[in-house]
């Protein structure tokens, strides 16, 4: 995979960069696959942006392996189903995503913990609804330990929630951002402001503005002075589903 950095004796496939030179330089070290990372919507209106950023990072990290997205029934009711056409617009193959619908937060956490144990999986997105008090330090440790053993990347997507203590290696805030207008006044690339809120290694927080390039399957830096809104990703419709107890 391109834009992968080495860290000590670990293999190339164990780390991931955004692909955006300035953002990666600020991070200093690449994201570890075998770990748990949290992504928070900066505000409720940014839920689609946070979801879009999370799935794009997951696609970049999965390296052709299955991508599982675990959601509960209330999340589906409140935010809608995923739209295959919207995913295609982002350069994501809807058939590459397996949706796992659980009845409630406990079902999400159980399905996520079981999925992360499987080394054949590339990435697991865990999306409990709202504050989800069941997802605390103990449950996050359970998923983080499973990720460390299997090498699977676990991304916890949080909307309508405030951060609480967890075993996440990094915590990110994501907001929608304007993007540069392309030729013939066409909408620009999907753009995000990402904020490193916490790093277990002690790295200081920072903000960066990035855009997604669907052809490169990578983010690039977007230090903009002016721009126009990018076309938002849609969340209606569906990809492939199966139900978890």
> What is the distance of C-alpha 231 from the center of its chain?
19
Segment 56-99, tens digit of pLDDT: 999 999 888 999 999 999 998 888 889 999 999 999 999 999 99
* The total number of structural domains that make up the chain: 1
CATH label of the domain that carries residue 174 = 3.40.50.300
Q: Residue 29's pLDDT is what? A: 72
Query: Does residue 112 belong to any structural domain of this protein?
Result: yes
Query: Does residue 2 belong to any structural domain of this protein?
Result: no
Which range of residues forms the domain containing residue 160? 12-243
Q: What is the mean pLDDT of residues 41-51?
A: 94
Q: Residue 224's pLDDT is what? A: 53
Query: Does residue 185 belong to any structural domain of this protein?
Result: yes
| Rounded-to-integer distance, Cα 53 and Cα 51, Å | 6
The full DSSP string for 12-44 is GGGEE--S-HHHHHHH-SPEESSSEEEEEESSG
Segment 160-201, tens digit of pLDDT: 899 999 999 999 999 999 887 787 777 789 999 999 999 998
The full DSSP string for 180-203 is ---GGG-----EEEEEEEEETT-P
CB neighbours (10 Å) of residue 185?
Answer: 7
Q: Residue 70's pLDDT is what? A: 97
Query: Does residue 146 belong to any structural domain of this protein?
Result: yes
Query: Does residue 4 belong to any structural domain of this protein?
Result: no
* pLDDT of residue 220 exceeding 60: yes
* Structural tokens at position 64: 């052709």
């Amino acid at each position: 995979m391109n834009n992968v950095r080495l860290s000590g004796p670990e293999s190339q496939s164990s780390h991931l960069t955004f692909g955006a030179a300035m953002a990666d330089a600020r991070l200093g070290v690449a994201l570890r696959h075998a770990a748990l990372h949290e992504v928070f919507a900066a505000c409720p209106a940014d839920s689609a942006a946070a979801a879009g950023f999370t799935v794009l990072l997951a696609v970049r990290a999965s390296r052709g392996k299955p991508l599982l997205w675990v959601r509960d029934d209330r999340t589906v009711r409140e935010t809608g189903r995923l739209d295959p056409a919207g995913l295609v617009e982002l350069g994501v193959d809807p058939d590459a995503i397996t949706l796992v619908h659980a009845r409630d937060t406990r079902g999400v956490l159980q399905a996520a913990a079981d999925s992360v144990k499987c080394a054949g999986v590339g990435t697991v997105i865990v999306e409990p609804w709202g504050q989800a008090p069941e997802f605390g330090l103990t449950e996050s440790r359970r998923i983080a330990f499973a990720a460390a053993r299997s090498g699977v990347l676990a991304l916890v997507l949080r909307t309508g929630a405030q951060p609480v203590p967890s075993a996440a290696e990094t915590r990110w805030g994501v907001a929608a951002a304007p993007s540069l207008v392309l030729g013939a006044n066409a909408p620009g690339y999907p753009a995000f402001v990402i904020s490193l809120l916490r790093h277990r290694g002690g790295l200081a927080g920072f903000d960066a503005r990035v855009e997604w390039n669907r052809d490169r399957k990578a983010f690039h830096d977007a230090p903009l002075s002016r721009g126009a809104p990018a076309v938002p990703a849609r969340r209606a419709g569906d990809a492939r589903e199966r139900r978890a107890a």
